[in-house]
Amino acid sequence: MQKKSAFVLLPKNKYAAKVTRSIITGILMIYVALGIGMVGYHDLENMSWVDSFVNASMILSGMGPMGNLTTTAGKIFAGCYALFSGLAFILIVGIVFAPVVHRTFKKMRIDDEQMK
């Protein structure tokens, strides 16, 4: 006789909604981080919005800046934005993959309990 598990997986439609919410949250966080970078480069380095977008997106993706920085404030901002971008990347990846990892661990736990 199999023992009934105390853990239950979410139905697939609720799980899909949870994954969708975390993906949307991650995308919104990317937009906010990109906006912060664009405003910083535009205001502190007097870059056009297009150049600000390119520099912010390159830093946010981990590639590095495209243009030369000319002001001290712009250089300090770029350094702080690079540190922020690295931490934001880790946070966003965690938020997006959390439901998948949680479900995987829960399924492993259920399978383990059923084996006993």
User: What's the per-residue H, E or C state across 74-110?
Assistant: HHHHHHHHHHHHHHHHHHHHHHHHHHHHHHHHHHHHH
Q: What is the dihedral of CA 28, 34, 35, 37, to 10 degrees?
A: 150
Show the domains of the chain with their CATH numbers. 21-97 (1.10.287.70)
Using the predicted structure, report yes or no on whether residue 1 has a pLDDT greater than 50: no
Average pLDDT, the chain: 90
Q: Which residue has the higher pLDDT, 114 or 50?
A: 50
pTM here is 0.82
Q: How far is residue 33's CA from residue 90's CA, in Å, rounded to a whole number?
A: 13
Count the alpha carbons within 13 Å of 29 in the hemisphere toward its beta carbon.
18
Q: Which residue has the higher pLDDT, 65 or 49?
A: 49
The values of phi and psi at residue 66, to 5°, are -90, -45
- The per-residue pLDDT for 4 is 61
60-95, pLDDT tens digit by residue?
Answer: 988 888 878 999 999 999 999 999 999 999 999 999
Confidence of residue 109 (pLDDT cuts 50, 70, 90): confident
- Is residue 99 within 8 A of residue 15, CB to CB? The reply is yes
Confidence of residue 42 (pLDDT cuts 50, 70, 90): very high
